[in-house]
Amino acid sequence: MPLENTYSEEKDVARSTQGDSFIIKGLSGEHTLEGDISVSGAKNDILKIMAGVLLFEDAVHIENVPDVLDVVALSAILEEIGMSVENIENGIVLKAPKQAHTVLPKDGAKKLRASVVLTGPLLSRYGSVSFPHPGGCVIGARPIDIFIHSFELMGGTYTQDDTHYTLSAPNGLHGADIFFPLASVTATETLMMAAVLARGTTIIRNAAMEPEIQNLAQYLIACGANIQGVGTPTITIVGGELLHAREKTYTVIPDRIEAGSFAILGALSGKQVHITNCNPLHIRSLLDIFDRAGVAYEQDETSLTLREPREPYRSISVRTHEYPGFSTDLQAPLTIFLTQVQGESLVFETLFEGRLRYTDDIVRMGADITMFDPHRVLVRGPKKLIGKDLEAPDLRAGLAYIIAGVIAQGTSTVRAARYIDRGYSHIEKRLQKIGVDIVRA
The smaller minimum CB distance to ligand EPZ, of residues 329 and 421, is found at 329
For residues 191 and 124, what is the distance between their CA atoms, to the nearest angstrom?
10
- Work out whether 154 is an interface residue with ligand EPZ (CB under 6 A): no
Radius of gyration of the chain from its Cα atoms, rounded to whole angstroms: 22
Burial category of 229 from C-beta neighbours within 10 Å (exposed 0-12, middle 13-18, buried 19 and up): middle
CB of 343 to ligand EPZ, least distance (A): 28
- Work out whether 259 is an interface residue with ligand EPZ (CB under 6 A): no
How many residues bind ligand EPZ, per CB under 6 A? 27
Which residue in the set 332, 423, 424, 438 belongs to the binding site for ligand EPZ (CB under 6 A)? 423
- Work out whether 256 is an interface residue with ligand EPZ (CB under 6 A): no
Burial category of 219 from C-beta neighbours within 10 Å (exposed 0-12, middle 13-18, buried 19 and up): buried
Which residue in the set 60, 68, 122, 187 belongs to the binding site for ligand EPZ (CB under 6 A)? 187
- Work out whether 46 is an interface residue with ligand EPZ (CB under 6 A): no
- Work out whether 349 is an interface residue with ligand EPZ (CB under 6 A): no
What residues act catalytically? Answer: 137
Q: In Å, what is the CA distance from 173 to each residue of 48, 128, 230, 275?
A: 20, 10, 21, 44
Span near ligand EPZ by CB under 6 A; candidates 179-187, 222-230, 242-250, 409-417: 179-187
CB of 333 to ligand EPZ, least distance (A): 12
List the beta bridge partners of residue 22: 414, 440
**Cβ proximity of 364 and 352 under 8 Å:** no
Chain-centre distance for alpha carbon 142: 15
Span near ligand EPZ by CB under 6 A; candidates 87-95, 138-146, 241-249, 399-407: 138-146
**Cβ proximity of 25 and 414 under 8 Å:** no
**Cβ proximity of 349 and 375 under 8 Å:** yes
- Work out whether 144 is an interface residue with ligand EPZ (CB under 6 A): yes
- Work out whether 142 is an interface residue with ligand EPZ (CB under 6 A): yes
**Cβ proximity of 255 and 65 under 8 Å:** no
Per CB under 6 A, residues contacting ligand EPZ are: 44, 47, 113-114, 137, 139-147, 182, 184-187, 208, 328-329, 351-352, 395-396, 423
